[in-house]
Amino acid sequence: MIHRLQQCRCFLLPVLTVFATIHSPAQQTPATKTQIIHAGKLIDVRTGHIAADAYITVVGERIAAVSMSPPAGGTTGDNPVIDLSHYTIVPGLIDAHGHILSNPTTQSSTSYLITSAPQATVRGVANLQFWLKHGFTVVRDACEPYSSYPQFALREGVEKKLITGPRIIAAGSCISLTGGHGDSDRLSPDKPALREPNQVDTVDDVSRIVRRDIKFGADWIKLMATGGVMDPISDYRVQELSDAQMARAVEDAHRAGHKVMVHAEGTVGIKAAIRAGVDSIEHGTMLDEEGAKMMAERGTWLVPTLYCFQHDLRTGLSKGREPSSMDKGIAIVKEQGPAFQRALKYHIKIAYGVDDDDIDESVSREFSALVRGGMTPLEALQAATINGAELLSLDKDLGAIEPGKFADFVAVPSNPLDDITVMEHVAWVMKSGVVVKPL
């Protein structure tokens, strides 16, 4: 018996050696693809400089070179030119405030109760396509209500190329007081309470959910510092999470190497969040002079989401929105313009964010809202590129068209620095060297 096994070994070893050689990963690795992109105009988002007839050499996923003449030997054979000579090229765009699982067909506050996590996840896959279609190659998910964290599964799906979508930076729970802006339980008091883990009524509760979010994969922590507009129960002017709760969240998150974003609309809550040391204020709709000065001094970011509030007034009650929510929207939008002017006056760092459920309709319209609010077209473009990359700690790899960064590009029909509405008409998109929206 031993003799037979030795004979088998002698026969199998050469066969296995040949098989391993044939199927060796080194033998299967294809040559890195080189692509040349001819841009009619190329915008340097750092300076606003526009280069005509620029050539971008892409090797694999990254930018190898940017030049003003065709690379030698780069226009024939295996390295043909992608002709975008009639277009303006800008970096891939970054939406720093999205909700991947959002449903554009309804604004009813009860939709969460009748939508399962799997149903919401399917909707999320469709939403990711909308972001890419409009040139957004990165989105920061600004929290979701489902305790099973579907946004993390979608992030993993994109990373593993199981689904197509922008890179996802994801917050976890919408950390809220019971009855606060992030409380999705709309059941009557004689029904069993949902008791969602995102509800925190003590300082220790905050630590519990911050650690839970991080345990299951949160990139950011999201707090609800004030009431909001879309829900029918909270008051946007009122601070909800206490100073101590927000300070604990920041302490726990920063110690673990994570940043904190905060929904804050009312003046008191905004300033409490700033004092707690948060990294970004979302909305900041009633930012006052003192708050703006504090943000500037501490380097706190603002993601103003201007268009979302404006768009909601146009859709009105047509998608099932409660009248009490509509009344709040009408009242708060009057505060938005003056608050944004204060942010510009103090040169607060601003990143682009949409926060609108109707992604296909709205995701590109924040550019015009920022310009109407007082930004220059270049500043609005910077908010969605280099600023967004810096806020999300992605500036080493993204945010500008420079050698070494990922090959994320967007082609638009003409110069957005002349007319920012051009950003609503994206013609072509590349993400990591792969064309995800062809001409």
Q: Let me know whether 300 and 248 are in one domain.
A: yes
Q: Report how many domains make up the chain.
A: 2
Residue 168 within a domain: yes
Q: What is the pLDDT of residue 201?
A: 96
Name the DSSP letter for residue 355: -
Q: Let me know whether 250 and 313 are in one domain.
A: yes
Whether the predicted pLDDT of 367 surpasses 60: yes
Q: What is the pLDDT of residue 78?
A: 65
Q: What is the pLDDT of residue 228?
A: 97
- Return the CATH number at 411: 2.30.40.10
For 40, what's the count of Cα atoms within 13 Å in the CB-facing half-sphere? 12
187 — pLDDT class (breaks 50, 70, 90): confident
Of the candidate ranges 24-38, 187-201, 380-394, the one whose mean pLDDT is the lowest: 24-38
Give the C-alpha distances (Å, rounded to integers) separating 103 from 15, 119, 359: 56, 10, 9
Q: Which domain holds residue 276?
A: 93-364
Helix axis angle for 323-345 and 289-298, nearest 10°, is 60
What is the Cα Rg of the chain in Å? Answer: 25
Residue 375 within a domain: no
Q: What is the pLDDT of residue 8?
A: 43
What percent of the chain is modeled with pLDDT above 70?
92
Strand order in the sheet with 50-59: 62-67, 50-59, 34-43, 81-91, 409-412, 428-431, 434-437
Q: Let me know whether 161 and 76 are in one domain.
A: no
Whether the predicted pLDDT of 409 surpasses 90: yes
Whether the predicted pLDDT of 7 surpasses 60: no
The CA distance from 283 to 351, in Å, is: 11
pLDDT tens sequence across 120-151: 999 999 999 999 999 999 999 999 999 999 99
How is residue 72 written in tokens?
């030698």
What percent of the chain is modeled with pLDDT above 90?
87
Q: What is the pLDDT of residue 11?
A: 39
Q: Let me know whether 132 and 54 are in one domain.
A: no
Residues 6+ apart with CB under 8 A from 381: 43, 45, 90, 367, 416, 417, 420, 423
pLDDT tens sequence across 206-256: 999 999 999 999 999 999 999 999 999 999 999 999 999 999 999 999 999
Q: Let me know whether 65 and 150 are in one domain.
A: no
The model's pTM: 0.92
- What mean pLDDT is reported for the chain? 92
pLDDT tens sequence across 88-111: 999 999 999 999 999 999 999 999
Of the three residues 336, 364, 392, the one that is the final residue of a domain is 364
Whether the predicted pLDDT of 65 surpasses 50: yes
Q: Let me know whether 88 and 101 are in one domain.
A: no
- Is residue 109 within 8 Å of 232, Cβ to Cβ? yes
Q: Let me know whether 407 and 318 are in one domain.
A: no
- Return the CATH number at 194: 3.20.20.140
For 205, what's the count of Cα atoms within 13 Å in the CB-facing half-sphere? 17
Q: What is the pLDDT of residue 73?
A: 61
Q: What length is written for the chain? A: 439
Residues 6+ apart with CB under 8 A from 72: none
As beta bridge partners, residue 350 has 302
Helix ranges restricted to H, 261-385 = 267-276, 289-298, 306-315, 323-345, 359-362, 366-373, 377-383
How is residue 187 written in tokens?
């059941």
Q: What is the pLDDT of residue 9?
A: 43
How is residue 351 written in tokens?
């990143």
Residue 433 within a domain: yes
**Quick check: helix, strand or coil at residue 267?**
helix
Of the candidate ranges 188-197, 260-269, 366-375, 376-385, the one whose mean pLDDT is the lowest: 188-197
186 — pLDDT class (breaks 50, 70, 90): confident
In this prediction, residues 60-64 reach a mean pLDDT of 97
